[in-house]
């Protein structure tokens, strides 16, 4: 074995109530990480693809946020119902799900259509 073909980082960050920026989960866990793990297992790619919990990915206005490396594909506003499509299309078939991808201009920016400072 060697490095992961895909390494999926799922933000599980939760902030204090009233924080200036939103949280990706309300409980520090959220449903997405477990759903990714289950779908990756069911797709038979568990040996080469890992779903990982991550702390704050700093894209809070686009959460729940997921990033897939090494290809550095960022997904935003990911809902539980999107996980099957990301796993089957992107992680199995190598076709990132464009409708869920964050534009480069939304990443690490002080201002975008989702973040008005």
3: left (phi over 0), alpha (psi -120 to 50) or beta: beta
List, in sequence order, every residue forming a beta bridge with 74; answer none if it has no partner.
67
CA-nearest of 30, 14, 28 to 83 is: 30
Q: What is the DSSP string of 39-55?
A: HHHHTT-TTTEEEEEES
Q: How far is the CB of 50 from a copy of itself (least distance, A)?
A: 6
Q: How far is the CB of 110 from a copy of itself (least distance, A)?
A: 8
Strands 49-54 and 6-11: parallel
Q: How far is the CB of 73 from a copy of itself (least distance, A)?
A: 9
Interface contacts to a copy of itself, rule CB under 8 A: 1-4, 7, 9, 12, 33, 47-48, 50, 52-58, 67, 69-72, 74, 104-105, 107-110
Nearer to a copy of itself, 12 or 23 (CB): 12
Nearer to a copy of itself, 2 or 113 (CB): 2
Question: 56: Cβ–Cβ under 8 A, 6 or more apart, which residues?
Answer: 11, 13, 24
Nearer to a copy of itself, 54 or 84 (CB): 54
Q: How far is the CB of 102 from a copy of itself (least distance, A)?
A: 10
Nearer to a copy of itself, 43 or 107 (CB): 107
């Amino acid at each position: 074995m060697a490095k992961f073909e895909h390494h999926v980082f799922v933000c599980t960050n939760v902030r204090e109530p009233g924080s200036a920026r939103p949280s990706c989960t309300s409980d520090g866990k959220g449903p997405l990480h477990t759903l990714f793990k289950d779908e990756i297992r069911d797709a038979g790619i568990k040996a080469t693809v890992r779903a990982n919990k991550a702390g704050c990915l700093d894209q809070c206005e686009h959460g729940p946020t997921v990033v897939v490396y090494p290809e550095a594909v960022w997904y935003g506003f990911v809902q539980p119902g999107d996980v099957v499509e990301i796993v089957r299309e992107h992680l199995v078939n190598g076709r990132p799900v464009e409708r869920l991808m964050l534009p480069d201009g939304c990443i690490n920016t002080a201002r975008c259509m989702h973040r008005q400072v």
